[in-house]
Amino acid sequence: MGKPRGRRDKRKEKLEEDIEETQATNIKEATPFFGLLDSTELEYFKQAESTLNINAFSSSEEREYFVAGVYEESKGKELKLVTNQICSKLVERLVLVATERQMKQLFSAFNGHFVQLCCQKYSSHVMETYLVRMAMYVEKQMTSEPEEPDADEEYVSMENMLLFLLAEIKPQLDNLIVHRYASHVLRVILLILGGKQLPSTVESNSVLRSKKSKIARKMIDIKDNEDYKRSYMTPSSFKDELADILRLVNEQHDTKSLRELAIDKIGSPVIQLLIQLEGIVDKDRTLWCKTFNVVSHEKDSKEEAFVEYLLSDAVGSHFLETVISTQRHKNVERLFQFYMKDRVLKLAKRETTGAYVIRALLKKLKPADQKFLLDELVPHLNELIVNGFDFGQSIMDTSQERGDHLKPEIVEKFIQFFRLGEDSDIFESVLRLSTSTLGNTRDDWPTADERRRALFLEKLVSYDSKFLQECVDALIAMEPDKLKAMCKHGVFSHVVEKCLSKDVDTIRRKKILNKLTDIIAELACHATGSHIVDCLWGFTFGLNMYKDRVAKILFDNREILKNSGYGRQVWKNWHMEQYSRRYADWKRIIKDELVRDQEPEEEKKHKPKSR
């Protein structure tokens, strides 16, 4: 084997940078310098950003007056502010609380410079926030009366403002798709035009921001307001604009260039989104049929090479996974039959690429093909979950969807993998408690791996009663201090909640209740532990003596509980006011639950709900 060299990689990176710079030449040449703030202005706006961040206003009116004052002070300086690293954070905070009039002030300042602002590192984040706020006002103006304009001011609707913005950026659409910053703004625009939900800007799976941007946003403590994580009503003109953007992309790109964009690190998410949204305005799905062949087309060597690249590339596999999830069955079926069906297991073993596509197919394909996938994957399930449990969860979901297809085999595979029934602890096998943040003294946050493992164990418990029994036995055998730590843990406490089910046999329920008795009062006043105590109401179903015992503990510690917010909620959920004042009413609540549980299912469905 030849000596490893680094110069080729460096030349390749340099070439990619040159290509990206060339693609954005028109934008960069047109980017003007908006000027700098003087030291006095900079200090004022820094202080304003800090004040808004602390949010130590005595009332909402005081905050509104302060924001109005900052907007007044920023007149004529908006472009300088949004392109400044620190001051752009201030403008974001201002946009999140902006009135219609303040939005128009910013629009007047940005008008004519939208393309440049989308392509600048700091102002692009402001543009994303501005567009989300604009979508909110578009819906508001459609459903209610807009603000009255001033006497010397012409009324312009928020819809028209957004259409003006689109008219400015559409000539540069081809460049924006592959631009490092502008592509994120373009994705927000597409989500708004399609009337889709606008995701959070800080959640790990959000499509609005890059990974670095989400981390930075958390660090500077800019929180989303109620404008996010929801979709908005849109006028018909937005669908026309979406159709026009799709037309431009189809005109500017042939099959070869679209496939290149599909595997481009920056352009791929935009093309994904366009393919997802084109069904709204284009029943023929022209973009999909140009990227892949039409349903009637036979197997094609070029398409086969493209699909193989997608299945073996990190960016490409994410593209294929995403577009499959929202595509017509017949289009997905064709790709599966031609290029994937004969090597399902091989693709599933590509942990960082093909495995994600196979998991997407498990959800999307028709029942017969889903069963085929299960038949192929289940015999090798233990190999697929060695480095992560996501595949195991997908297989359980599909098995349940298909009437518990191969359920005994799946359960047996998991029992073998975790060596259950061989004096092993299921919590240690799945959650790895000994190396986790359980019981640490540094108040570390639960890790992402711990969350994934806990969710997987919850899925196992709900999938088959054998796993519930294993978990209950492990809780019974657990040391008291370890059990208390688990009940207080931010993630593992959910597993304990899942185990506190009425389906557990009476003897085991009594054993768990005996272990929890000494810590009930302490748990009731704890953020996560209080949920465990809430679950005990249902867990003591049919065990009235134990229910009385828990209620007495809560009553004896009523002063402590009533001085705690979590304790007060437990007091309410356990109906302790009735217990302490009208004990007979409290017993009647329990009796009514017993009667309801004994009713046949059909009667429960048809019984009218009390108002």
pLDDT per residue as tens digits for the range 176-191: 999 999 999 999 999 9
Give the residue, 584 or 214, on which the prediction is more confident: 584
Distance, in Å, from the CA atom of 207 to the CA atom of 318, rounded to the nearest integer, reads 13
Q: Which of 340, 365, 390 is the last residue of a domain?
A: 365
Q: How many domains does the chain have?
A: 3
């940078």: which residue's tokens? 17
* Residue 217 sits in the same domain as residue 262: no
Residue range 549-572: mean pLDDT, rounded = 96
Q: Is the pLDDT of residue 150 over 80?
A: no
pLDDT digits (tens, 9 = 90+) for 468-525: 999 999 999 999 999 999 999 999 999 999 999 999 999 999 999 999 999 999 999 9
* Residue 104 sits in the same domain as residue 54: yes
pLDDT digits (tens, 9 = 90+) for 264-323: 999 999 999 999 999 999 999 999 999 999 999 999 999 999 999 999 999 999 999 999
* Residue 269 sits in the same domain as residue 205: no
* Residue 316 sits in the same domain as residue 213: no
């259409």: which residue's tokens? 163
Q: Which amino acid is at 345?
A: L
Q: Is the pLDDT of residue 29 over 70?
A: no
* Residue 116 sits in the same domain as residue 57: yes
Contact 473, 435 (CB under 8 A): no
Query: Beta partners for 230?
Result: 198
- Asked if residue 464 belongs to a domain, the reply is no
Query: Which pLDDT belongs to residue 600?
Result: 60
Q: Is the pLDDT of residue 243 over 70?
A: yes
pLDDT digits (tens, 9 = 90+) for 316-357: 999 999 999 989 999 999 999 999 999 999 999 999 999 999
Distance, in Å, from the CA atom of 575 to the CA atom of 537, rounded to the nearest integer, reads 10
Residue range 407-422: mean pLDDT, rounded = 90
Q: Which amino acid is at 591?
A: K
The share of the chain scoring above pLDDT 90, in percent, equals 76
* Residue 133 sits in the same domain as residue 281: no
- Asked if residue 25 belongs to a domain, the reply is yes
Select from 365, 305, 367 the least CA-distant residue to 339: 305
* Residue 316 sits in the same domain as residue 218: no
Q: What is the secondary structure of 120-137 as a DSSP string? A: STTHHHHHHHHHHHHHHH
When the pLDDT of each residue in the chain is averaged and rounded to a whole number, the result is 88
Residue range 145-164: mean pLDDT, rounded = 81
Grouping H, G, I as helix, E, B as strand and the rest as coil, residue 116 is helix
Query: Which pLDDT belongs to residue 146?
Result: 67
* Residue 107 sits in the same domain as residue 189: yes
Q: Categorize the per-residue pLDDT at 438 as very low, low, confident or very high, splitting at 50, 70 and 90.
A: confident
Query: Which pLDDT belongs to residue 145?
Result: 75
- Asked if residue 278 belongs to a domain, the reply is yes
- CA 75, 81, 82, 86 torsion: positive or negative? negative
Query: Beta partners for 198?
Result: 230
* Residue 74 sits in the same domain as residue 191: yes
Query: Which pLDDT belongs to residue 609?
Result: 44
Q: Is the pLDDT of residue 56 over 90?
A: no
Query: Beta partners for 590?
Result: none
Q: Is the pLDDT of residue 22 over 50?
A: no
* Residue 91 sits in the same domain as residue 185: yes
* Residue 263 sits in the same domain as residue 185: no
CB atoms within 10 A of CB 233: 12
Q: Which amino acid is at 397?
A: D
The DSSP symbol for 270 reads: H
Query: Which pLDDT belongs to residue 228?
Result: 80
Lowest-pLDDT range of 201-215, 275-289, 410-424, 590-604? 201-215
- Asked if residue 570 belongs to a domain, the reply is yes
Select from 343, 362, 361 the least CA-distant residue to 406: 362
Q: Categorize the per-residue pLDDT at 1 as very low, low, confident or very high, splitting at 50, 70 and 90.
A: very low
Domain enclosing residue 331, as ranges: 253-365
- Asked if residue 358 belongs to a domain, the reply is yes
- Asked if residue 95 belongs to a domain, the reply is yes
Q: The whole model's pTM is what? A: 0.85
- Asked if residue 270 belongs to a domain, the reply is yes
Q: Which amino acid is at 51?
A: T
Query: Which pLDDT belongs to residue 5?
Result: 46
- Asked if residue 563 belongs to a domain, the reply is yes
* Residue 68 sits in the same domain as residue 194: yes
Query: Which pLDDT belongs to residue 382?
Result: 93
Grouping H, G, I as helix, E, B as strand and the rest as coil, residue 461 is helix
